Amino acid sequence: MPNLPNPTRPLLVLAALAALALPAAGCGTSTANVERGRVLFVQKCGVCHEMAQAGTTAQIGPNLDDAFAAAREVGETGDTVAGVVKAQVENPRPSNADPAVSMPAGVVEGQDLEDVAAYIGEYAGVPGAAPPKVPGGPGAQVFANNGCGGCHTLAAANSGGVTGPNLDESLAPDDSAAAIEEMIVDPNAEIPKGYPANVMPQNFGQTLSPKELEQLVQFLIESTPAGGGKSGGSKSKGG
């Protein structure tokens, strides 16, 4: 068989995976919850994958917008993309770039996988896809855009992530704006007790503009005990 041009190969792989995945997907019987899928994606998948609508920026695994952009251009449907995602999650393979890196088996299963796959099928590679608008001002939007709620619980953001510290409890009255900024841009400077290093993205100092960083810090000060914004809370570092 002659060598195929590089742009053709991903589409053939996509088509092959879709052929395997779609028979198991059912016809019009999906009970997937796309909104729940977004929350699960940010919590479970956003630590490795970048995706614009999720507001995630991690680069351990493929950028899902880039991965499915070509499929969108040739008219592949969200159901096809969702089927591909399910096949890849159920049968993870080592990365071509780094064979030592592969997606964990069973990262999401059952209804969780249905919801995550439907969410990715709805938004991955879709031009102009962006995080939903949220109430609470620009700092709350920065918090949402960057997937912070997928890792952190914060009542003001209606988020319940547990990968990182509960910000309602971990930020204390004597945490200054400068201290909170350091937690965001240099999260390994002081590791919160009970949490491993290198879980929080290390590049927020580059991906957030100075204005966005300022807005995010102010939102956290106003929404937690930090800076005396609220009373209570115990001292435990972590941004």
Nearest to 219 by CA among 152, 157, 134: 157
Tokens at residue 54, please? 């999720």
Region of 219 (left: φ > 0; alpha: ψ -120 to 50; beta: rest) is alpha
Q: 165 and 152 in contact (C-beta within 8 Å)?
A: yes
Q: Cα–Cα distance between 94 and 105 in angstroms, integer?
A: 11
Residue carrying structure tokens 């997928």: 150
Nearest to 217 by CA among 232, 233, 205, 201: 205
pTM exceeds 0.85, yes or no: no
* Residue 161 falls in which region: left (phi positive, over 0), alpha (psi -120 to 50) or beta: beta
Residue 138 region, left (φ>0) first, then alpha (ψ -120 to 50), else beta? alpha
Q: Which domains are delineated in the chain?
A: 8-123 (1.10.760.10), 138-228 (1.10.760.10)
pLDDT tens string, the chain, 239 residues long: the values are: 333 334 334 434 444 444 444 444 444 456 899 988 987 887 788 878 899 998 887 788 899 999 999 999 999 999 999 999 999 999 987 766 565 667 888 899 999 999 999 999 999 999 999 888 888 899 999 998 887 887 889 999 988 888 889 999 999 999 999 999 999 999 999 988 888 888 888 888 988 899 999 999 999 999 999 876 554 433 334 44
Name every residue whose Cβ is closer than 8 Å to that of residue 56 and which is 6 or more positions away in sequence. Answer: 41, 42, 45, 46, 47, 49, 50, 146, 147, 150
Residues comprising the chain, all counted: 239
